[in-house]
A and B are shown apart, each in its own frame.
Chain A
């Protein structure tokens, strides 16, 4: 039997450090190290990890970086750089689509 399940956007209920770590199956330490080396949260992060909150964008970025580190034994900085490039590719692909609007 099917009943309605209400979905909640991460933007309406941001994840804290523990929730992010659990949902992405990484340790708290992993997240803290990646924030501290600037790969996650950029410069928005305070020095107190308990105050960190993660939105959809951070969540997807963690999953991307995690896959890069796991599949290619990459260090966090290189994985972060590749994730930046993927985000840039997404942006450029979108821009390209917009230029095709009047063709």
Chain B
């Protein structure tokens, strides 16, 4: 496992006070906050910062971590010396979100304590994100996901193990919803039930569609004569092809609503096609002549509303 230099992660000296550590953590928690950060890999950074803070803000964990000394270099392979944590007491907590290094150092206590005290304890509920393609929600899909989960080994120690799940994603799910997988969270102790796994649904960005909850928006490119005279055109939508009637005198930006063609939730969303008039380029003398005829015959002033 790789040694983690938690002081370096929080950018504080080893002799930093609790107040300095808190201040450094908050600064970085703002910088890498997943909802607003523009930093690359903000979420991963935030996890590292959380892990470092979980150790350095906890007196017992910090003291035990400091026992390891400054010898190991961050990122280098590392094994803690035997008995390194003698005399310290701490609980596991959140180990499933943290590194192997954290799990090895601090994730062992919960199982061992519970075994000694014969505690019965339901497993912890876990949380993860799942990224879906828009098309997945139209029919429901199976997704294979791999999670790192804490697991008790034969000695009752918590270790991080990869956990593969083949999950049936229900049809009609949309971003921001949460899928619950009963019994797929942390293991229970002394015969108690495992916790649940909660998957937060996100969609991968799509080249054609914008998704807003259950509604979907897509551009509908049309020729000027289709927009002006009206037309019925074929257009691909996430679950096939549809024929759409474009009303005459449609302008760019006009929204055509296809009711119930959005995400097929219990109460289905709508699909909005946003008209985009595309002009044919005047690349030949004949095509130029067409435009010149239009200019003469139509006497159209698109800037009339501007008073010019």
Contact = CB atoms under 8 A, between A and B. Distances in A.
A89 to B, nearest CB: 7
Contacts, number: 92
Q: Is the interface of B mostly helix, strand, loop or mixed?
A: strand
B212 interface: yes
User: What is the size category of the interface that chain A forms with chain B?
Assistant: 20 to 34
B25 interface: yes
B274 A5 contact: no
Contact of B217 (A12, A89, A101): A101
A68 B177 CA distance: 21
Contacts of A13: 180
Interface stretch (A34-42, A44-52, A55-63): A55-63
Given A5-B165, A24-B125, A102-B274, 18 more contacts: A2-B164, A2-B166, A4-B142, A4-B166, A5-B167, A7-B169, A7-B180, A10-B177, A10-B179, A57-B176, A60-B176, A60-B178, A72-B29, A86-B36, A101-B210, A101-B219, A101-B274, A102-B276
16 contacts: A4-B168, A5-B168, A6-B170, A7-B179, A8-B179, A11-B266, A22-B125, A25-B125, A60-B200, A72-B26, A72-B29, A86-B35, A89-B36, A94-B212, A101-B210, A102-B219
Q: What 9 pairs across the A-B complex have the smallest Cβ distances?
A: A7-B179, A102-B276, A56-B178, A2-B166, A23-B125, A56-B177, A71-B29, A10-B178, A101-B219
